[in-house]
């Protein structure tokens, strides 16, 4: 950004004004207000200190939802990141076929959730297509969405949706590694595994950081699938924080909701900073 | 040659899994009532056995589409709601975010880094974090239960500013300077140099935005009680025996604009995804 013009002319600032005003009114000021509310009683509006946070932490529904969300993120992210890296590595060496595959893996990103929800019902019904398949191989029919399997259906859906996104990011990371490093390694007689662990992986670390953050944030969007398939109160294995927020919102429990929103914001910011620090330390 | 075939096994397998739902949907939407009922009877009517499916309909028919497009006023209203919401949001983002991104990319002013970091943090917050604050401000302005409740907060999303900023930053300084030497003022430079040169970035943000806003779920669900205002993404007819075809056709109609935008804008979509990941 060294091509910035000097001078204090206000006309330059005018470009930003509409956006700044809108962001302040619709996002920033209301959020600061929510932080304030998280320390106040819902009815009285009086300052109650950390009371709302204590209430949220001891709430059974919150514990269930937070646990499920953690479990979901903890299982999905390594799976997604590993699988997309594997596919990206294969496609990177298959330049002429990569375009077709990239289109394929990106298409789920474009498919509105509402379009596939119907199909989910047909597939995961207790007498649906998946049960039919399982029975054919001698298994038992299951009402998938009303059992512990619901969680895994959600995992699969998240992978299906986000695989292409991460593959594109990995491919961008791979293509930013200078070919001359690989040539030098080849001259020195390094084998494939050595090249991968000594050159490819270290150079992909910055990508790993951003991919982790973005995959984490995209994991919040899985609520769409969960909600459209199972409604307000899905099977307890897939009752996520988002369901809880939704249900508290409907009951206008603003005190708990504010505290939970601030907590979630803190955790997200913390994770972003933590990952950034972890990456920077490895870099030195 | 052999080696490449083996390594492609995994991507090929995954690709089949990705395509399957789409093929199922497309095939099913051309099936007649009788065929669908026959396939789905165990689900729809509680009879014994299990559902089955053919990829290609035995007796293809356009009946479900005709019924949906001509005889379902509710579907039509929701389709136009979706179109209206998406277009208004994208137009608003274009008017607000493009100049803002240009301002961030080209000029130096106090607190710039702080403001930009704030924009990045706000863009990374999921809807659930912001829903209380959005609700409170929309309530204050009496915007709840209007389309403006969906449009206005989305217009001021900081995400498009961030994406476009990346592309504006990559415009070489010399280009801007030469325009200034020729006597162009700041607005002229922005309109005649910035916007055309940053067009890929603007399109990236708009393509990403379209795919996001075409399938909005949380916002309309939270801020719109009046169901006549709901967008298509919340149109979920129950699968009953006589409506299964209708529901499948609705799924496909909902899908078509998104696929068209995807096919037209795939390269912008990729550029946008990559731009969002670049480290500051």
Q: Cα separations (Å) of B228 from B70, B142, B150?
A: 18, 18, 14
Higher pLDDT, A241 or A13: A241
User: Which of A3, A6, A105 is nearest residue B176 as measured by Cβ atoms?
Assistant: A3
Residue B84, pLDDT score:
96
Higher pLDDT, B244 or B207: B207
In chain A, what are the domains?
61-110+156-283 (1.10.3720.10)
> What are the chain B neighbours of A117 within 8 Å (beta carbons)?
236, 251
pLDDT digits (tens, 9 = 90+) for B58-113: 778 888 888 888 888 888 899 999 999 999 999 999 999 999 999 999 888 778 88
CB contact under 8 A, A129 and B50: yes
Higher pLDDT, A4 or A186: A186
> What are the chain A neighbours of B134 within 8 Å (beta carbons)?
26, 30
pLDDT digits (tens, 9 = 90+) for A119-134: 888 888 888 888 888 8
Higher pLDDT, A19 or A206: A19
> Judged by CB atoms within 8 Å, which residues 66-105 of A form the interface with B?
83, 86-87, 90-91, 93-94, 97, 101-105
As given in the structure block, the two tokens for residue B188 are 């002229």
CB contact under 8 A, A249 and B233: no
Determine the distance in angstroms separating the CA of B240 from the nearest CA of chain A, rounded to an integer: 12
A224 touches chain B (CB under 8 A): yes
Class of domain B73-277: mainly alpha
Give yes or no for a contact between B254 and A115, defined as CB atoms under 8 angstroms apart: yes
Q: Cα separations (Å) of A129 from A83, A133, A144, B2, B49?
A: 26, 6, 11, 35, 11
Residue B4, pLDDT score:
66
Q: What is the mean pLDDT of chain B?
A: 86
B236 touches chain A (CB under 8 A): yes
Determine the distance in angstroms separating the CA of B193 from the nearest CA of chain A, rounded to an integer: 15
CA atoms within 13 A on the CB side of A93: 14
User: Locate tokens 């998280």: which residue?
Assistant: A38
Phi, psi angle pair for B273, to nearest 5°: -60, -45
pLDDT digits (tens, 9 = 90+) for B218-257: 899 889 988 889 998 888 766 666 677 788 888 888 899 9
Q: Is the pLDDT at A182 greater than 90, yes or no?
A: no
Q: How large is the average pLDDT for residues B169-196? A: 87
As given in the structure block, the two tokens for residue A200 are 């490819």
B51 touches chain A (CB under 8 A): yes
Q: How large is the average pLDDT for residues A10-31? A: 89
CB contact under 8 A, A268 and B262: no
Residue A99, pLDDT score:
86
As given in the structure block, the two tokens for residue B248 are 């499948």
B235 touches chain A (CB under 8 A): yes
CA distance B229 to B177: 49
Higher pLDDT, A7 or A173: A173
CA distance A46 to A37: 9
Give the 3-state secondary structure of chain B: CHHHHHHCHHHHHHHHHHHHHHHHHHHHHCCCHHHHHHHHHHHHCCCCCCCCCCCCCCCCCCHHHHHHHHHCHHHHHHHHHHHHHHHHHHHHHHHHHHHHHHHHHHECCCCHHHHHHHHHHHHHCCHHHHHHHHHHHHHHCCCCCCCHHHHHHHHCCCHHHHHHHHHHHCCCHHHHHHHHHCCCCHHHHHHHHHHHHCHHHHHHHHHHHHHHHHCCCHHHHHHCCCHHHCCHHHCCCCCCCCCHHHHHHHHHHHHHHHHHHHHHHHHHHHHHHHHHHCCC
CB contact under 8 A, A33 and B133: yes
Q: Is the pLDDT at A37 greater than 70, yes or no?
A: yes
User: Which of B96, B108, B274 is nearest residue A172 as measured by Cβ atoms?
Assistant: B274
Can you name the residues that pair with B107 across neighbouring β-strands?
A: A5
User: Which of B169, B177, B236 is nearest residue A228 as measured by Cβ atoms?
Assistant: B236
Residue B27, pLDDT score:
83
CA distance A120 to A115: 10
Residues sharing a CB contact under 8 Å with residue A221, sequence separation 6 or more, in sequence order = A161, B126
Residue B240, pLDDT score:
65
CA distance B22 to A119: 9
A113 touches chain B (CB under 8 A): yes
Q: Is the pLDDT at A143 greater than 90, yes or no?
A: no
Mean pLDDT lowest among A140-144, A146-150, A151-155, A275-279: A275-279
Residues sharing a CB contact under 8 Å with residue B146, sequence separation 6 or more, in sequence order = B229
Residue B238, pLDDT score:
61
Best interface-test mutation with A: which of B13, B22, B64, B107 has the largest number of A CBs within 10 A?
A: B107
CA distance A158 to A152: 10
A272 touches chain B (CB under 8 A): yes
Residue B50, pLDDT score:
79
Q: How large is the average pLDDT for residues B168-178? A: 87
pLDDT digits (tens, 9 = 90+) for B16-36: 888 888 888 888 888 877 787
Q: Is the pLDDT at B200 greater than 90, yes or no?
A: yes
CB contact under 8 A, A268 and B124: yes
Give yes or no for a contact between A205 and A282, defined as CB atoms under 8 angstroms apart: yes
Cα dihedral A192, A197, A202, A204 sign: positive
CA distance A31 to B261: 33
CA distance A3 to A5: 6
Residue B90, pLDDT score:
97
> What are the chain B neighbours of A214 within 8 Å (beta carbons)?
276-277
| CA-based nearest residue to B25, from A261, A110, A116, A56 | A116
pTM for this prediction: 0.89
Residue A24, pLDDT score:
94
Residue B236, pLDDT score:
72
Work out the pLDDT band at A159, boundaries 50, 70, 90.
very high
CA distance B210 to B101: 19
Work out the pLDDT band at A176, boundaries 50, 70, 90.
confident
Please give the share of chain B, as a percent, with pLDDT higher than 70: 95
Q: How large is the average pLDDT for residues B114-126? A: 89
Give yes or no for a contact between A275 and A212, defined as CB atoms under 8 angstroms apart: yes
CA distance A215 to A263: 20
CA distance B241 to B35: 11
Residue B43, pLDDT score:
75
Count CB pairs under 8 A between chains A and B: 273
| CA-based nearest residue to A113, from B184, B25, B149, B13 | B25
User: Locate tokens 């929103």: which residue?
Assistant: A261
CB contact under 8 A, B251 and A119: yes
Residue B279, pLDDT score:
58
Helix axes B127-140, A29-37, angle to 10 degrees: 100
Residue A4, pLDDT score:
44
Q: Where are the domains of chain B?
A: 2-61, 73-277
């Amino acid at each position: 950004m060294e091509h910035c013009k000097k001078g204090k002319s206000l006309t330059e600032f005018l470009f930003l004004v509409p956006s700044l005003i809108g962001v302040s009114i619709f996002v920033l000021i209301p959020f600061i207000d929510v932080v304030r509310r998280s320390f106040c009683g819902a009815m009285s509006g009086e300052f109650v200190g950390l009371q709302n946070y204590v209430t949220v932490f001891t709430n059974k529904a919150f514990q269930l939802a937070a646990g499920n969300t953690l479990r979901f993120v903890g299982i999905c992210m390594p799976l997604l990141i590993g699988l997309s890296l594997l596919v990206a590595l294969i496609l990177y060496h298959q330049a002429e076929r990569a375009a077709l595959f990239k289109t394929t893996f990106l298409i789920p990103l474009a498919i509105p959730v509402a379009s596939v929800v119907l199909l989910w019902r047909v597939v995961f019904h207790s007498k649906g297509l998946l049960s039919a398949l399982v029975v054919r191989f001698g298994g038992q029919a299951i009402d998938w969405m009303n059992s512990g399997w619901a969680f895994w259906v959600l995992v699969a859906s998240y992978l299906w949706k986000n695989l292409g996104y991460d593959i594109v990011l990995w491919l961008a990371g791979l293509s930013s590694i200078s070919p001359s490093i690989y040539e030098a390694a080849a001259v020195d007689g390094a084998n494939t595994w050595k090249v991968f662990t000594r050159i490819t992986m270290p150079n992909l670390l910055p990508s790993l950081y951003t991919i982790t953050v973005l995959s984490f944030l995209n994991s919040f969007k899985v609520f769409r699938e969960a909600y459209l398939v199972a409604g307000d109160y899905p099977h307890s294995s897939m009752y996520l924080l988002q369901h809880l927020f939704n249900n508290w919102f409907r009951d206008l429990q603003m005190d708990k909701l504010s505290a939970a929103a601030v907590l979630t914001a803190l955790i997200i910011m913390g994770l972003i900073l933590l990952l950034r620090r972890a990456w920077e330390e490895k870099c030195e | 040659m052999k080696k490449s075939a083996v390594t492609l096994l995994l991507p090929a397998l995954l690709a089949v899994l990705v395509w399957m739902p789409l093929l199922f949907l497309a095939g099913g939407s051309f099936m007649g009532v009788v065929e669908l009922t026959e396939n789905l009877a165990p689900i729809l009517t509680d009879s014994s056995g299990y559902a089955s499916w053919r990829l290609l309909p035995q007796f293809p028919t356009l009946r479900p589409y005709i019924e949906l497009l001509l005889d379902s006023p509710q579907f039509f209203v929701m389709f136009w709601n979706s179109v209206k919401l998406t277009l208004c949001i994208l137009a608003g983002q274009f008017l607000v975010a493009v100049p803002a991104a240009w301002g961030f990319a080209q000029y130096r002013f106090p607190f710039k880094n702080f403001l930009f970091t704030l924009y990045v943090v706000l863009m990374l917050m999921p809807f659930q974090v912001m829903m209380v604050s959005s609700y409170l401000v929309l309530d204050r302005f009496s915007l709840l239960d209007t389309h403006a409740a969906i449009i206005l907060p989305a217009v001021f999303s900081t995400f498009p500013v961030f994406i476009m900023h990346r592309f504006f930053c990559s415009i070489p300084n010399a280009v801007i300077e030469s325009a200034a030497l020729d006597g162009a003022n700041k607005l002229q430079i922005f309109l005649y140099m910035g916007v055309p040169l940053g067009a890929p970035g603007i399109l990236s943000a708009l393509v990403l935005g379209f795919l996001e806003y075409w399938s909005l779920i949380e916002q309309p669900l939270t801020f719109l009680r009046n169901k006549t205002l709901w967008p298509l993404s919340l149109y979920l007819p129950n699968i009953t025996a006589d409506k299964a075809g209708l529901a499948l056709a609705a799924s496909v109609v909902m899908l078509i604009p998104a696929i068209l935008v995807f096919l037209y804008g795939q390269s912008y979509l990729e550029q946008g995804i990559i731009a969002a990941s670049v480290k500051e």
